[in-house]
Amino acid sequence: MPHTLDLLVVGDANPDVVLGPLDAPLAFEQREQLVDAGALTLGGSAAIMACGAARLGLRVAFAGRVGDDDAGRYVRDALDARGVDTRALRVDPRLSTPLTVVLTRADDRAIVTAPGTLPATTAADVPAGLLAAARHVHAASYFLLPRLAAGLPDLLRTARSHGATTSLDTNDDPSGRWDPPGLDAVLAQTDYLLPNAAEARQLAGLGTTDLEKSAAALARRGPTVVVKNGAEGALCHDGRTLVTTRGIPARPVDTVGAGDSFDAGFVAALLGGLTVPQALELAAVCGALSTRAPGGTTAQPTWDEAFAQATRNGKNPA
């Protein structure tokens, strides 16, 4: 079957309420605190990645669940408006759409999420036709979607049997355990693992701050490991070779979703025929440019914007 879809993204989608920057510790006891800015925007690692990839020119479809509520309709409208195919966005008649509040402070943020439909999302929510049609399948928020996580090995294996490449961004583990029993089975079917630096260290479980050693250890479990390290740049390890790229100068307005925009840039670059080192450079640019405005999707770049910015910063994505 010919691939009629560039990218299928599977995972979480929800409204984000982003508030900040908070200049003092969060206060309880009914104290009211004021911040400079607030925004209602599309959130969820998978949804932000899908929007970033569509903005870069890919044909993108999204599979997941929302509730039969205003928040779910907001999510669908936001994805539709950004050119993402939402026919596989299932409406759950019982559970509510997930909701997230993001409180920003300087270069950090706190994230509070009501999971809603996330624990009910399964691999069965992903249509077989989309798996067969996609050139690449990306899954996100592994630890928030336990039933989907259990089915990911078979789902990704099926995608690969149709000739697709695969990627995973686990994001944070709210439980703090970082070692679910099925993770190795997922990594064995994952071409590219895309954690940030803190996640890579936790997933590797070496008890070291050495990012290169953590990436190498994860690569020995199957995937090429691509690690996002904020202003320091990014690195990639395939178990044999280490590739690095410097950070992109930026004055971020909001870093929410920057890692997901990085993921979108990396996948789009690979699907566009770039090498892994070139894809790493373009991805770093996409992540940096996404911080120009509040929310995860507002400032995501087009392909031409990202390419031009990479060239201006001495990168060589061509």
pLDDT value at position 109? 84
Question: pLDDT tens digit string along 118-177?
Answer: 999 999 999 999 999 999 999 999 999 999 999 999 999 999 999 999 999 999 999 999
Strand order in the sheet with 234-237: 85-92, 60-67, 5-10, 134-140, 165-169, 192-193, 224-228, 234-237, 242-245
Q: How many CB atoms lie within 10 A of CB 60?
A: 29
pLDDT band with cut points at 50, 70 and 90 for residue 2 = confident
Query: Above pLDDT 70, what percent of the chain?
Result: 98
Give the tokens for residue 27.
Answer: 């206060």
Question: pLDDT tens digit string along 191-238?
Answer: 999 999 999 999 999 988 999 999 999 999 999 999 999 989 999 999
pLDDT at residue 55 above 80? Answer: yes
pLDDT at residue 251 above 90? Answer: no
| Report field, pTM of the whole predicted structure over 0.85 | yes
pLDDT value at position 29? 92
pLDDT value at position 312? 82
pLDDT value at position 118? 98
- What does the domain layout of the chain look like in residue ranges? 5-312
- What is the spatial distance between Cα 300 and Cα 55, in angstroms, rounded to a whole number? 7
pLDDT value at position 141? 98
CA angle 41, 285, 165 (to 5 degrees): 85
Q: 5-312 adopts what CATH topology?
A: UDP-N-acetylmuramoyl-L-alanine:D-glutamate ligase (3.40.1190)
pLDDT band with cut points at 50, 70 and 90 for residue 318 = low
Question: pLDDT tens digit string along 273-289?
Answer: 999 999 999 999 999 99
- What is the spatial distance between Cα 276 and Cα 226, in angstroms, rounded to a whole number? 10
pLDDT band with cut points at 50, 70 and 90 for residue 30 = very high
pLDDT at residue 4 above 90? Answer: yes
Place of tokens 């971020």: 252
101-128 average pLDDT score: 93
pLDDT value at position 295? 83
pLDDT band with cut points at 50, 70 and 90 for residue 45 = very high
pLDDT at residue 269 above 90? Answer: yes
pLDDT value at position 1? 58
pLDDT value at position 107? 74
